Each structure stands twice: as C-alpha cells, then as structure tokens.
Amino acid sequence: MRVLVTGAAGQLGSDLVKRLRETQIETIGADLEDFDITDDKATYNFVGHCRPDMVVHCAAYTKVDQAEEEPDLCGRINVEGTKNLAAACRESGSGLCYISTDYVFDGKTEFPYETDDAPNPVSVYGRSKYQGEQLTVALVPNHYILRTSWVFGKNGHNFVKTMLRLGENNKSLRIVSDQISSPTYTVDLACLITDLIRTGKHGTYHGTNSGFCSWADFAEEIFRQMNWDVAIERIRSSDYPTKAIRPKDSRLSKHSLVQAGLLPLPDWQDGLVRFLKEIKAI
C-alpha cells in the first residue's frame, strides 16, 4: 500500500507519517510547499504523479474563531481544497480518508453521537468540515470519514500547551466547564488511522481517546500530572464569549470502531501522560 498524507508537517500529519513508516507502509508526506490543495491543477498533478492507494487528508483550516472572520479562506481550504483532492482521488482511483471533527454536531444531545446522527454544525469551521465530508462521500466511493475531537500533539498549537504556558505564571485560571468531549492524543489517533485504512471497511467512524471531560476537567488533570498548584475556576461558556459558537456536548460514540473490529484508544488521561513525557514537560 502506498499512502499520501496531506498536512504532513502538522500536528496529526507528522505523527501519522511516522506511524505509517514504522509499520512499513510506503508513505508520501506532503504539505503546502509540495502542492496547494486549493489549486485544482496542482492537486491533480501531484496525486496523479504519486498514484497513492490511499490519501489521508489531514490538511485543514482549523482556526475556529478566526474562521468567523475569514469564512472565504476557511471555505477555500476546507471545502474547495477537499473537493479538489477528492476529485483527484477519483481520477487516480485512490481511496480517501478525510479527517473531520466533532464540530459537525450542534452539541444539543443527551448521549454520545453515533456516526449516523444528523450533523448540524453551528460555526463556519464546523460547516466547512461537514461540507468536506459530503464532498468526500459524493466523489470517492472507497472513502473513510473519521471524526475526532480536542486533538493535542507535539507539532502544533493545542490546549495542553496553552495551559502549560499560562500555568507557569498564574496561580489560578478561569476555564469553561460546560463543554464536554474527548481529548485525543495524535500519536494514538495516528495508530488508529493506520489500522483503519488497512481494514477495507469504508464508511464513517468516530475516533478519539476513551473517556469524556470538560475543558476545566482537562486543565485540572494537566496540572495534577505536572504537580503544579494552579486553581481552576469553573465558568460557563457564556462567561467566556468567543467569536465561534462551540457545541456544548460533542461526545462521540466509538461503537463504529468496535463494529469494525478495532480496539478503543486508551483513556485520554493516559494519552496526556505520554504526551507530557514526549515534550519533556514531566
């Protein structure tokens, strides 16, 4: 199998390229300097030249709040870029694994979302990612949609790094406690993607570390593992207004993974321990 990974220099893409190569899968890592997914000709040419069996699409516009002010740019990358890539995959006969997000849901639920629950994104970013899902399904028969949440990894900006930076100089922090989902370690997610694309069981999946928490719970666990004395004041989303609306409860059911014969990922707390060791914080 030959796999092309877009966004290979990013938070997930870099770990995925590493994992694929560790498992002896021929891997081509590509980023913006290799080709621009918003350029249809460049995308067709690159995919056509590589002729991968599978493309894992990690490249994306992910600035959730900034997307509200840059909807055209967000759409150009997440929608038009995905359309170009999906069309190139169809032309070359390649499969496509599209990395999506819990933000395709509105968060108005009492139970973890199943893969067949109806998306209803409430932000520009969420809508753009859902449109990317729809294009992938429409254009590439042998596709995987993998929704994940609250990703953290060595390469890139994330909540854990922000908490470590703020915790160095503050004895207390105000953190939102009424948004719930699953923190997901990119190393674990990369392992899951590698296993998933080898199953041949195409479709939509939810992939996160096991367990659920709020942002405040997440922050408390970070400081507990760091053995830092930082008090967390739990606040509501309304106390910390942001440009983009975020789903309150975007828990994702992993029932789809179990049905496909894949093992659930480790608890998010376990992933956090290994991440902090990876970046030599502990």
Looking at residue 145, its amino acid is I
Token code pair at residue 69: 């002010």
Q: Report yes or no on 280 lying in a domain.
A: no
CA distance 32 to 101: 21
Positions annotated as catalytic residues are 125
pLDDT in tens, 162-174: 999 999 999 999 9
Q: Report yes or no on 82 lying in a domain.
A: yes
CATH code of the domain containing 113: 3.40.50.720
CA distance 44 to 71: 25
Q: Report yes or no on 261 lying in a domain.
A: yes
Q: How many CA atoms lie within 13 A of 228 on its CB side?
A: 23
Q: Can you give the residue range of the structural domain that contains 28? A: 2-156+183-210+250-265
Q: Report yes or no on 18 lying in a domain.
A: yes
Please tell me whether the overall predicted TM-score, pTM, comes out greater than 0.75 for this model: yes
Q: Report yes or no on 16 lying in a domain.
A: yes
Place of tokens 């993607």: 193
pLDDT in tens, 185-236: 999 999 999 999 999 999 999 999 999 999 999 999 999 999 999 999 999 9
pLDDT in tens, 117-173: 999 999 999 999 999 999 999 999 999 999 999 999 999 999 999 999 999 999 999
CA distance 71 to 74: 5
pLDDT at 281: 84
**Helices (H) and strands (E) in the chain — how many of each?**
10, 12
Domain count, the chain: 1
